[in-house]
Amino acid sequence: MNIIDAIIIAIVEGLTEFLPISSTGHMIITERLLGVPDNDFTKLFTVGIQLGAILAVVVLYWKKFVDFKSWHFYLKLLIAVIPALALGFIFSDKIDALMESPMTVVITMIAGGIVLLFIDKVFKNPTVETEEQISYPKAFMIGLWQCVAMIPGVSRSAASIIGGMQQKLTRKLAAEFSFFLAVPTMAAATGYKLLKGYKTISPEDIKLFAIGNIVAFIVAMLAIKFFIGFLQKHGFRVFGYYRIIAGIILLVLIATGYLSK
């Protein structure tokens, strides 16, 4: 992986991490199209640059994260992240194996797209409009929904937002809680991977990590601002069409031999 590869992958991460279109799926496909070697460092880089995206959430919502008097907020995030921490630890190796499969991404991209076409009609009449109204059981259920995103291509953002809407949160609140939940979830996943693989990181790798995280941070800031406004006005249908079209294109690339299965 060179610097250009790192920048391109980081742009993809920043753009897609908080949109319901799967950042992991997009990065896997981007790496294949760029011809980046499928080695341990590439897998570590894919997870490691999520730190930049996490920081974007903290910066944009810094008042929420530094309000230490609101301990209920932190407790809700802790409860919501427990399912992902537990299942992620238990099935870590199987998740890594799935990340090597573009065909898995194709299937989940198309299936997820079909779901997003109808999700606005399925979950109507929300009753939870503020974070304070999110109960602990609701937070836990949203955390369970998030676990579906352990399958590459599902989208952590989509799974947790849909989980929020299923728990009667408004679209805007569901999206924002999904962003908040991303911080402990992604921090734990990234920290675990880096802890396991830091001994193999070279000085050149550290430079790529630094560049990747800076780019991911800047792009994620812009993507989050765009997504909240767009979601309130237009809902999920556009993202559903995008996922289906992208999945079909990837299927064609695999069928023609341009991408491996």
Which structure tokens are listed for 57?
Answer: 């959430």
Summarize pLDDT for 184-238 with one digit per residue, the tens: 888 887 777 777 766 677 788 788 889 999 999 999 999 998 888 888 788 889 9
pLDDT classification of 99: cutoffs 50, 70, 90: low
Q: CB count, 10 Å around CB of 249?
A: 13
Instruction: Give the pLDDT score at 92.
Output: 67
Give the residue carrying structure tokens 């898995």: 104
List the one residue out of 185, 166, 183, 163 whose CA is nearest residue 82.
185
Instruction: Please write the tens of the pLDDT for every residue from 12-54.
Output: 999 888 888 888 778 878 888 888 887 778 878 888 888 898 8
Check pLDDT > 80 for residue 256. Answer: yes
Beta bridge partners of residue 169, listed in sequence order = 128
- For residue 158, pLDDT beyond 80: yes
Say yes or no to pLDDT of 164 above 90: yes
The pLDDT value recorded for residue 11 is 94
Whether the CB-CB separation of 223 and 19 falls below 8 Å is answered with yes
Q: Is 205 helix (H, G, I), strand (E, B) or coil?
A: helix
Please tell me the predicted confidence (pLDDT) of residue 240: 92
Predicted TM-score (pTM) of this structure: 0.83
Q: Are 21 and 95 in contact (CB under 8 A)?
A: no
What one-letter code names the amino acid at 149? A
